[in-house]
Amino acid sequence: MKNNAGQYLVAKRGAGVHLENYWEFPGGKVKQNESFKIALRRELREEVGIQPGRIQKFFEFKYKYDDRSLHFQVFRVFTYTSTIHSCEGQQLQWVEKHQLETIEMPPANRAIVAALRLPNSYMIADYAAIGEKDFLSIVQSNLQAGVTIIQLRAHELLETEYITLAQKVYTLCEQHNAKMICNCELSWLGKFAAHGVHLTSSRLVEACKYETGDQYFSASCHTPEEVKLANRLQVQCILVGPVHNTPSHPAANSIEWEGFSRLCNLANMPVYALGGVAKSENLLAIAHGAQGVAGISAFIRD
């Protein structure tokens, strides 16, 4: 829940409860026969005295403590009535996004903070689509415009060529405090610097044979089965599509927004809308459960 200043509401857990005195996002437990949405509306009314209006599922995940396992559904609250106040004696405060990194929060809440750090746009820098001549200048212009995730996709390059290009893109991203996500053969990993790894749908199956790890930043998913594999790997975000027909995958059937929403509901992490989606559709994507939009052509048009 954010206010008009872009601050987030957090509440302090009371004494004598699990993880006492930690700060957390308002919410609570689901009662028997309750849906997540009904539970959210009840908990916010009971805890902070408001009646939510428009809400949207953000993502869901599971977290295991030593003594308990929890299943979270996280929602965005866009509108509400009444004034926020403490109904149960807990301390409330509004904090800036960067303060969420420093206040003491339950370990499970860190997944929510990580999701909030993700931007609304995810650029796929496709070497074939952009071309060698303009590639680095297009990447740099997007970084200067505020893009903070650049996926380096260059399937036509040999290993040594990809590594050389990756080193240049990584340097540019470092200069702009952005992430360079590599999309390459898994056997090439560790031979150059990157901020994370993107898994194509075929490499998603291959990666599931190995240990999971923080290096798997994102994955492309087109089916329920692939979303479930991404859940198993605990990647930080997924790219779902194609939402619309796209020149980069002309043979792929578009799922449109209805199909996109269905796959979003299966995901345990934030989701970007992929495939023929324009930057101008960002709010539409969010309304259907997305973190934002990802793509190629949307980032290389004038």
- The CATH number of the domain holding residue 85 is 3.90.79.10
Torsion of CA 154, 157, 158, 164, to 10 degrees: -80
Question: Which whole number is the average pLDDT over 1-12?
Answer: 91
Residues 15 and 159: their CA atoms lie apart, in Å, by 56
Q: How many CA atoms lie less than 13 Å away from 284 in the CB half-sphere?
A: 12
Residue 136 and residue 280 in one domain: yes
Residues 125 and 151: their CA atoms lie apart, in Å, by 6
In a domain, 244, yes or no: yes
Residue 78 and residue 167 in one domain: no
Number of domains in the chain: 2
User: The domain containing residue 62 runs over which residues?
Assistant: 8-114
Under 8 Å between Cβ of 130 and 143:
no
| Cis peptide bond prior to 270, omega within 30° of 0 | no
Q: Is the pLDDT of residue 4 over 90?
A: no
In a domain, 1, yes or no: no
Provide the β-strand partners of residue 73: 60
- 77-135: per-residue pLDDT in tens? 989 998 999 998 899 999 999 999 899 999 888 889 988 999 999 999 999 999 999 99
Please state whether the predicted TM-score (pTM) of the whole model is above 0.85.
Answer: no
- 11-45: per-residue pLDDT in tens? 999 888 888 899 999 999 999 999 999 999 999 99
Per-residue pLDDT at 302: 46
Residue 251 and residue 278 in one domain: yes
Residue 95 and residue 139 in one domain: no
Residue 270 and residue 284 in one domain: yes
In a domain, 250, yes or no: yes
